[in-house]
Structure 1
């Protein structure tokens, strides 16, 4: 049985997973509570701002987790081309493990709500910016990091819709050229 003290964190984590797979609009609060094992009354106790506040916190959590995973993968490999290829591989493994349901942990929410909710748009932008900073620190250039992130993000979307890792493999194979280095 879940501990009472972790209800808030369970709800945020469950929401992050559901938003990642289904999007903001397709995820109902009752589903979040049921899958998170939380009582109905706990939602507005923990999230007085409702679904929007929950989404902001879920995006922040998902963004931080991916930022930390990227930082770890990149720090473990000094060669930027190999490091980024390993990061792409990590994302591909997560996509496969979810049977292509869970791509980028922020994209689905960003596409669903960025035009409608300033707090959610800001949370999504902050997550992307944190990933871009991690990549920039490794490749040494902010603009190049933006291009790398956009390529990976696009490849994730294509991989998810095609139900194939080929777009991710293609991007990983071309990172050397993008970074001005030979392929590994």
Structure 2
């Protein structure tokens, strides 16, 4: 997506990504999306013949790429994956609080709304969640965790993150996620690791 000179398609995708985070899939009205994207009527079906579903899939993929880019930067800046994960968590909580608990994880919001008939949407969500887990697991493997333990902790962190965000949104309080993540980080820090070959 060209952020300097976004096309109509880019603006529609960005508008949908923003709406998914705030309101979920069912809260995304087409007229509101067109207004937010400053797009003319008819442009949605021109760029997305599959309508709202195709646009939602494109927005989910856009969110996934944005997360990928953020992770690349995050792990470049923090050699310790726990510090990187803490930074990710802190950024999320700051955004959640500044939005008055309106902006949660767009992936979880859509996942909770989706049904068995939403095959394409669920497939896009599954790909994003898988990439999240794989990125975290790779970093944990790099500091001495076995493949199995790295995969397990990556899965546990993503599950904790999503569940904690949902609790924080409904409670209007970030403590559920802060408390749970602190316990997980303590567990990971004291979990046995394999010696690194470069040491």
TM-score w.r.t. the length of structure 1 is 0.90
2:111–2:122 Cα contact (<8 Å) kept: yes
- For residues 109 and 128 of structure 1, the distance between their equivalents in structure 2, rounded to whole angstroms, comes to 12
Q: Which residue of 1 aligns with 2:146?
A: none
Q: Which residue of 2 aligns with 1:169?
A: 178
Report 1:119-134 matches (<5 A): 119-134=120-135
1:26 matched to 2:27? The reply is yes
Q: Which residue of 2 aligns with 1:9?
A: 10
Report 1:13-162 matches (<5 A): 13-140=14-141, 141-162=150-171
Bigger mean CA deviation after superposition, 158-167 or 38-47: 158-167
Q: Secondary structure at the match of 2:183?
A: helix
1:18–1:27 Cα contact (<8 Å) kept: yes
1:85–1:175 Cα contact (<8 Å) kept: no
Deviations 1:132-184, CA, capped at 9 Å, x for gaps = 111111112112211111111111111111111112221332233331439xx
1:63–1:105 Cα contact (<8 Å) kept: no
Give the greater-gyration-radius structure (CA).
2
Aligned-CA RMSD value: 1.9
- For residues 151 and 187 of structure 2, the distance between their equivalents in structure 1, rounded to whole angstroms, comes to 14
Gaps of 5+ in 2: 142-149, 192-199
Q: Relative contact order, CA 8 A, sep 6+: which one is greater? A: 1
Describe the shift of the 1:145–1:88 C-alpha distance in structure 2 as closer, same or farther (beyond 3 A).
same
- For residues 70 and 98 of structure 2, the distance between their equivalents in structure 1, rounded to whole angstroms, comes to 16
1:56–1:120 Cα contact (<8 Å) kept: yes
TM-score w.r.t. the length of structure 2 is 0.83
Q: Secondary structure at the match of 2:106?
A: coil
Bigger mean CA deviation after superposition, 69-78 or 16-25: 69-78
